Structure 1
Amino acid sequence: MLGTIVNTIAIVIGGFAGLLFGHALPEKMKSTVIQGIGLAVLLIGGSMALQTKNSLVVIASLVIGGILGEWIDIELRLKEFGQWLESKFTKKGEKSGFTKAFVTASLIYCVGAMAIMGSLESGLKGNHNILFAKSMLDGISAIVFASSMGIGVIASAIPVFLYQGAITLGAGLLQGILSGPVIGEMGATGGLLIVGIGINILEIKEVKVGNLLPGIFIAIPITLLFTKLHLGM
């Protein structure tokens, strides 16, 4: 859990730094920086998604994962948790973008190859290098996000800790099935979800990335099935 703990602390420290020093940046500058981050998120997600060996796996994973995610309504659960935290950290009647900041930052930090691969490496091999690198990136981005979106970014450290911690602790149970192709398709599916996050940041259209999140894990059985049937893998 060391890598996840460091990652969590990095987000908190970066978030507080953004709150303390973010006021020095003009609103127009913050808006432009956020747009730049949105474009960068699209680039990162797109490059990850293009690494798929079989786009049918990604499509099937997102369709099935989306059905499951809508049934659970993960996005609503995240928003409700964010709203509950908002009621604890902000004054009643005070205008706040806490929930939006919390949900956006949580998805950015939880969705992606580094979160999954880093947690798996940490759990299977005790190698925390990927999560240490992710910690640096998340800490820096938390400064920018918190300065623009507020304290909700700091609260995103909670789902990051729970999500990555669960993958780390459960990695041993999946050790026998996490082959190279499986991990690759999980990363590609996660990459496409990162593209969705970029679209949300740029406010092009609201994509329910949270409800599509199960697709990353649905990619495991789908990839194994396609591999067994020799369907393009």
Structure 2
Amino acid sequence: DRARFVEGFVIASLVFCTGPLTILGALNDGLGNGADQLLLKSALDGFAAIAFAAAFGWGVAASVVTVLTVQGTLTVLGVVLGDVLPEAHLAAVTATGGVLLVGVAMRLLRLREIAVADLLPALVVAPALVSLVAALR
């Protein structure tokens, strides 16, 4: 019974904390762009949690600690970045996040399998490119 709890905790934590909506939603919420993406993610995760709970039991419910820690940290990071980054950098991060969400939507609708998680480094590259372009002017 303990192994089942641990397996449910680990699987649910990984599934709920590794998707692109986790990172994009928490950062956007911290940047003041609203929690719409986190609300969408919570609805999707809620349906997955029901299925996981049927298979793994209470370990899935315990994964809320991991989700709260990861998403809370990312939201705080978004709040800190919002105070530090110039407006052009925030616009680059927001635009890049929007493009990544299009990739998430295409995956959810099964139109095209885009490896969105592989594109997450673009959230760091976009502001760097804005700095590069500003320096070249």
Partner residue of 1:140? 47
- Alignment RMSD, CA only? 3.2
Task: Kindly state the Cα deviation for residue 157 of structure 1 after the two structures are TM-superposed.
Answer: 0.7
Alpha-carbon shift at residue 182 of structure 1 (Å): 5.0
Give the structure 2 partner of residue 120 of structure 1: 27
Q: Residues 193-208 of structure 1: matches in 2 within 5 Å?
A: none
Deviation at 1:99, TM superposition (A): 1.9
What pairs up with 1:27-46 in 2 under 5 angstroms? none
Unpaired stretches in structure 1, ≥5 consecutive residues: 1-93, 194-214
Encode CA deviations 1:47-106: one digit per residue, 9 max, x unaligned.
xxxxxxxxxxxxxxxxxxxxxxxxxxxxxxxxxxxxxxxxxxxxxxx5532222211111
Q: Residue 191 of structure 1 aligns with which residue?
A: 116
- CA deviations 1:108-135 (Å, max 9, x no partner) are 1111222122112222226122211211
Please show how residues 80-119 of structure 1 align to structure 2 within 5 Å.
94=1, 96-119=3-26
* CA deviation profile, 1:140-179 (whole Å, cap 9, x unmatched): 1101001012211111111111111111122132232442
Q: Name the TM-score, length of structure 1 as normaliser.
A: 0.40
The higher relative CO (CA closer than 8 Å, separation ≥ 6) is in 1
Q: Is the 8 A contact 1:186 1:219 kept in 2?
A: no
2:73 to 158, 166, 176: 166
Is contact 1:185-1:223 (8 Å) kept?
no
Match of 2:109 in 1: none
Residue 154 of structure 1: aligned partner: 61
* Letter of the 1:141 counterpart: A
Q: CA 1:153 to 1:136, structure 2 compared with 1: closer, same or farther past 3 Å?
A: same
- Percent identical residues: 32
TM-score normalised to structure 2 length: 0.63
Distance 2:79 2:31 in 1: 6
Q: Conserved in 1, the CA contact under 8 Å of 2:31 and 2:81?
A: no
- Cα distance change of structure 1 residues 183 and 126 upon mapping to structure 2, 3 Å threshold: closer
Give the structure 2 partner of residue 4 of structure 1.
none
CA distance in 2, matches of 1:95, 1:157: 18
Question: 2:74 and 2:66 mapped to 1: Cα distance?
Answer: 12
CA distance in 2, matches of 1:155, 1:145: 12
**How many corresponding residue pairs?**
114
